[in-house]
Structure 1
Amino acid sequence: MARTVLPGPPSRFGPRDIVSEALAGVLRRPGRSALTMLGTVLGIGASVAVLGLAATASGQIGARFDLTEATTVTVADHPVTDGVPPGANPQSGFPTDADARAGRIEGVTAAGVWWRIPAEHLRISASPAGGPAAPDLAPDLALIAASPGAVAAMHPALTAGVTLDRYAQSAELPVVLLSTAAATRLGVHRLDAQPAIFIDGLPYTVIGVYEDTARLPDPRPGLIIPGSTALARFGNPGPGTDRAAHLLVATRAGAAAVVAGQLAVALRPDAPDRFTVTAPPDPRTLRDPVRADLAGLLLALAATCLAVGAAGITGTTLVAVVERTPEIGLRRALGARTHHIAAQFLTESAVLGALGGLVGTCAGVLTVLAVAAARDWTAVLQPWATLPAPLAGAALGVLAGLYPAVRAARTDPLAALRSG
């Protein structure tokens, strides 16, 4: 008489069992697990660092634009040439009190007239003509005439001496400000002996040396002399956009557009059309493309790191499936279902990805803080870029472990037991 074998109870492998087995598999070979997580750590860390540094850098770019571009207004003069003798320069359209007129507008912090003096036919040297002089440096230096208000708007960072003042302007003093590069070329190292340089054979006492300016009208190393002295010795500003007189206006943040709308009338109520007023561009139009380009390039690098990390998890999980084939066969023989095997390996991959994402997030945040501290910046970390990063690592682990888990689930239990 044949006996009937009743089926046993269904195999149960709950979530707690899956997590326990996955943790046991991860901790069984800690060295391999650490190396497997390395790719995810680099990918997630690079992503967090890239997003944080891009936000931090764009904040600094925006602040720089606010301090310079967004607070600078320029006014160009269009001289009237009718009735001007041949070979002579027309008189500037700016009134003699242009600095004061522009300065009375609400929101203006400094304003003044400046122009470039053509140095092609001038000699700029450290000694007078005919003496044991250094070579003529005029082609390499920018000679600028400026009123005290224009120098204040340029905001030079003095390293020695003083800046041009109203007395030097009113008295037409032969004094000059030198950039550090120009001072080095002309051999001016100290100001206590009242050194002088020579422009077209005439001496100019060096009263100050500046390292940089916030609003530099010429990128070349420069010399700045009083505007009144330039008018007396070199005549009116020359024609053309490169040599014509300009008004440089520094404003408070947010006031540039309003100031630009009032300047022409304030300078010449009788002829406001003589001037072209240039207001600063919107800082967002300059900042946003820079931020987008920077973030795009760096995120491409981060995506590459994530791909490498996913490939590492996939390869390591496949090796683990091959090594644990007898174990998989034994579990199947004891009643484990295919989805139990797949869930175990997927959980192992997710744990590796989550741990890698957590470590990578911490590394990325520390990188942003270190760079910001080294550059004296304000660190900017977006919550949407840092908080989900460990979850992104876990999701990456699941995707990377999907194929190895399916392969493990399809393992034939009899063949697996025979291979063991």
Structure 2
Amino acid sequence: MDLKPRNNSWKRNLYIVWFGCFLTGAGFSLIMPFLPLYVEELGITDHEELNLWTGVAFSITFLFSAIAAPFWGKLSDRKGRKLMLLRSALGMAIVMVLIGFAQNIWQLLVLRALLGILGGFVPNANALIATQVPVKKSGWALGTLSTGAVSGALIGPLIGGMLADLYGLRPVFFITSAVLFICFLVTLFFVSENFTPVSKKDALTTKQVFSSLKNKRLVVCLFFTTMIIQVATGSVTPILTLYIRELTGSVSNLAFISGVVASVPGIAALISAPRFGKLGDRIGPDKVLLFTLGLSIFMLIPMALVSSYWELGALRFLLGAVNAAMLPAVQTLILYNITPVIAGRIFSYNQALRDVGNVTGPLMGAFVAASYGFRAVFYFTAAVVFFNLIYSWLSFRTPQEK
């Protein structure tokens, strides 16, 4: 079982694992700008096949992460969250080196799948902090922690593109591996956890885990909400640059404009996440979640009506500020409904649904855009979020199960 720290060591852990999440986010996003180029270097040159295999290489990591997450969550409840952080950071560092040596698309796919299986630094960081932080500060703590991976994901593509131009594609994987190994060392020497291992025979079954929840229906709704948040975020990804080109016409700096518009939600999230977390600690994370779900609908619909890229960018900035509140609010509500002994598994289930959303969101966006046009993606996404808003509202109104 977990033992709460006797002092403010949870704050020290928070800042350390924030740095670890930053390194993980940066490490993962370092390779994203040139992943299609790497697939091409491995022998896929046909344009349609290149798009297909790049999409598969991107999605397969999330797919296998979703499959593996419950196993690692169960193990973290038995062996401790710090051990899972170390396992994740070191495993990903090793796989990144191997990806740098890949010789064909099949090797890349297998290694990207292995990357998903061995991943999970961020959900285990969430579980570690959630079991240590005082409940009254959980919203702020989880909101602050969420900015770590966001910060890394923002800076990663910029550095990755620069490194690829300077040194070529393969060396970037080795640099990424070094970044992840630094994450491993920081976690090993500076993260502290008081944890008493649980034997396999004493570990709770999945049925017992869900039976111990204070409100099973609400937790299931929160899992679903996590998936929808990622679906809504990812649905725009495949069409963003093409939509901006439709708005701007032929411009020489399309890539730069697209990069700015793509990154502004992350910048807004850095500013708003801790503040929304504090607000949730004061008025309740349920109110924050419902409010921000509703606001996001009113941000998505005008995106289908814009006539310039700066209007789209402004709306995406506002949407990023709103979206930053959602996942920490969900995680805080989950924390309210669990005990520390099942935190690893419950947060891993939530991560699995998040990964499912990461896979299905871009697929949904691409399908809707191909069938009905770019602008329809925003209407369709708003409708999905509206359904989730109603589902969440009804779940909060349902009396807590006895």
TM-score range, shorter chain: under 0.3
TM-score (norm 1): 0.25
TM-score (norm 2): 0.26
Higher strand share: 1
